[in-house]
Amino acid sequence: MSVLVIGSVAIDTIETPFGKAKNILGGSAVYFSLACSFFNKVKLVAVIGEDLKKSDYALLHRKNIHLEGLKIAKGKTLNWHGKYFNDLNYRETLKLDLGVFSDYEPVIPSEYNDCNYVFLANIDPKHQSKVLNSINSYKIAAADTMDHWIKNRRKSVISLIKKIDILILNDSEARLISKEANLFSASRWIQKKGPKVVVIKKGEHGVLLVHGNKFFGAPAYPLEKTFDPTGAGDAFAGGFMGYLSQCSKITHKNLRLATIYGQVMGSFCVEEFGVKKLLNLSKKDINSRVRELRKFSVF
Amino acid sequence: MSVLVIGSVAIDTIETPFGKAKNILGGSAVYFSLACSFFNKVKLVAVIGEDLKKSDYALLHRKNIHLEGLKIAKGKTLNWHGKYFNDLNYRETLKLDLGVFSDYEPVIPSEYNDCNYVFLANIDPKHQSKVLNSINSYKIAAADTMDHWIKNRRKSVISLIKKIDILILNDSEARLISKEANLFSASRWIQKKGPKVVVIKKGEHGVLLVHGNKFFGAPAYPLEKTFDPTGAGDAFAGGFMGYLSQCSKITHKNLRLATIYGQVMGSFCVEEFGVKKLLNLSKKDINSRVRELRKFSVF
């Protein structure tokens, strides 16, 4: 049992009202993998340039993340420079250099063929579909997407979601793709296209999980300070898929717990710059926060 | 034990994408009283003109709502005509005629002096303070307010909240009054001014209850269709205060349950035009929805 993730590895420069971090390790596949690694083996598929620091590479290796699918290409690693404003809900991309990511087509190494769980992080939906088709056998496929693809590659996004079991997206994206203002109606619209499970992230308002005709409202962990929101969605997905992949069965109860573990990983992620907090966590910290979240929402 | 409410009684005309209702009974004190009446005796303080239909008056009387404090003045009842747009989160006031409400100063009849719980619905904060000072003895005072008063009568709002135990407001109002983007920080700011309990309504995202240093995240009832949002906040407050007032003690557990009963009353309210749904409910319907809400959020 292991989890395969296809996404980006990046070098980020992040500015928030609380400070600035220059050229730090980032990217959807990195946040996902680090969060997921607390629960299961992770097999990463991504591309980097020749400029990624050896220490970053070693860091992923140390965390039980398989790197046979991490291609090193001639050129520069994806480079993103973003700035968050006062309420942290709005960010601006100051610089984006796709580097070796711009003409990358993911290839699954043969060593990865035992993966039961596949997560297609947010990349071009055409590549997400193509790479999913190239995987011989898997049990569950989940994907993330974003407003950019929904607006500009709508057909490809819909063609992708027909093939997957779980779609993870945020509330504005769910409304955008379904053209429904109500999130329950939006999730039914998505389910009709394919995925039995729809996970709608609502930031500080928690998560709505829709599984068949069952709903679950997961609270957000009560955080008084968000330090850096970068990667929170991918850390959520990593916790969600990681927890689910080590369950013997996909029951509604397990999906609820997976959502909670996802929430917890996302809440840790935003407490420090980049992946820093995810590197300094223990399983005990994670389980303790799950208990806190239960206390916060029980009645 | 009973609950005193000071607020408005109105004649509303409401347009939503689903239809129009003309000249129906409305107003904050009406929604509050009807929701609260399922839990405890309600004593209403408000003003109406000579034009309010006898059937509307009789309706309130039938529902266990005491009307000794309902003043009938020469002139017209407060008249509001509002229109909701497609996603129901935005509404426009097409007409507002304050009528007899414009120079109304609430007076508490002596028959009401046994009220332990007081709810100051959303009126001018100066009147809220004045009327609270005029009540001889009460156990718990709660108040609602709105962006209009926070923007234009900030000092009066702050002077009011120093005197109350519970402030009920929505998320944008909590941010506006505290100048804090984070709702936990906003609630701490409010608590420092006076109220030990802060109830922040987040519409479709549920409610955040803050009690001393304890937090509770209450889910919103999963509604696929909202028909008419008018009065939902007052119905919430009615359920909240109604449930709380019949508890022997104000414990954190009881405050959580009060929040849930509030959520349930608000969710019923929006399912039909005006107060219609609140008139056709049983205690069994309410308790059944509380159980559904628990199922929706447990993990």
Distance CA B180, CA A200 (A): 26
Give the chain B residue nearest A85 (alpha carbons). B181
- Please report, for chain B, how many H helices and E strands are present, in that order: 11, 13
Nearest to B210 by CA among B219, B222, B201: B201
Nearest to A257 among B86, B181, B299 (CB): B299
Q: Do B299 and A296 touch (CB under 8 A)?
A: no
B224 or B253: which leads in pLDDT: B253
C-alpha distances (whole Å) from B285 to each of A298, B242, B254, B268, B278 are 21, 16, 20, 9, 11
Angle between helices A183-193 and A171-178 (to 10 degrees): 60
Nearest to B166 by CA among B248, B229, B259: B259
Give the distance from residue A229's alpha carbon to the nearest chain B alpha carbon, in angstroms: 14
Q: Do A219 and B297 touch (CB under 8 A)?
A: yes
Distance CA A102, CA A298 (A): 47
DSSP state of A227: -
Q: Do B219 and A297 touch (CB under 8 A)?
A: yes
Distance CA A47, CA A296 (A): 40
Distance CA A42, CA A245 (A): 10
Give the chain A residue nearest B201 (alpha carbons). A205
A89 pLDDT exceeds 80?
no
Give the distance from residue B191's alpha carbon to the nearest chain A alpha carbon, in angstroms: 15
Distance CA A213, CA A252 (A): 11
SS3 B58: helix
Q: Across residues A203-215, what is the average pLDDT? A: 95
Q: Do B299 and A184 touch (CB under 8 A)?
A: no
Residue B216 domain boundaries: 2-297
ipTM of this predicted structure: 0.89
A137 pLDDT exceeds 90?
no
pLDDT, tens only, B227-254: 999 999 999 999 999 999 999 999 999 9
The number of folded domains in chain A is 1
Chain B residues touching A296 at Cβ < 8 A = 215-217
Got the DSSP string for A230-244?
TTHHHHHHHHHHHHH
Which amino acid is present at B88? L
Nearest to B159 by CA among B137, B129, B186, B138: B129
Q: Across residues A180-189, what is the average pLDDT? A: 94
CB pairs under 8 A between A and B: 79
Distance CA A221, CA B193 (A): 25
Size of chain A, expressed as the number of residues it contains: 299
Chain B residues touching A260 at Cβ < 8 A = 299
Size of chain B, expressed as the number of residues it contains: 299
- Residue A287: CB atoms within 10 A of its CB come to 12
Which pLDDT score, from 0 to 100, does residue A224 have?
87
Distance CA A151, CA B37 (A): 49
pLDDT, tens only, A92-135: 999 999 999 998 999 999 989 889 999 999 999 999 999 999 99
B170 touches A: beta carbon within 8 Å: no
A103 touches B: beta carbon within 8 Å: no
CATH number for the domain including B55? 3.40.1190.20
Residue B13 main-chain phi, psi, to 5 deg: -120, 125
Q: Confidence band (pLDDT; 50, 70, 90) for A88?
A: confident
Chain B residues touching A216 at Cβ < 8 A = 296-297, 299
Question: Phi/psi class of residue B23: alpha, beta or left (left: φ > 0; alpha: ψ in -120 to 50)?
Answer: left
What's the pTM? 0.93
Chain A residues touching B202 at Cβ < 8 A = 205
B158 pLDDT exceeds 80?
yes
Q: Do A217 and B222 touch (CB under 8 A)?
A: yes
Give the distance from residue B123's alpha carbon to the nearest chain A alpha carbon, in angstroms: 29
Nearest to B217 among A86, A216, A297 (CB): A297
pLDDT, tens only, B92-143: 999 999 999 998 999 999 989 889 999 999 999 999 999 999 998 899 999 9
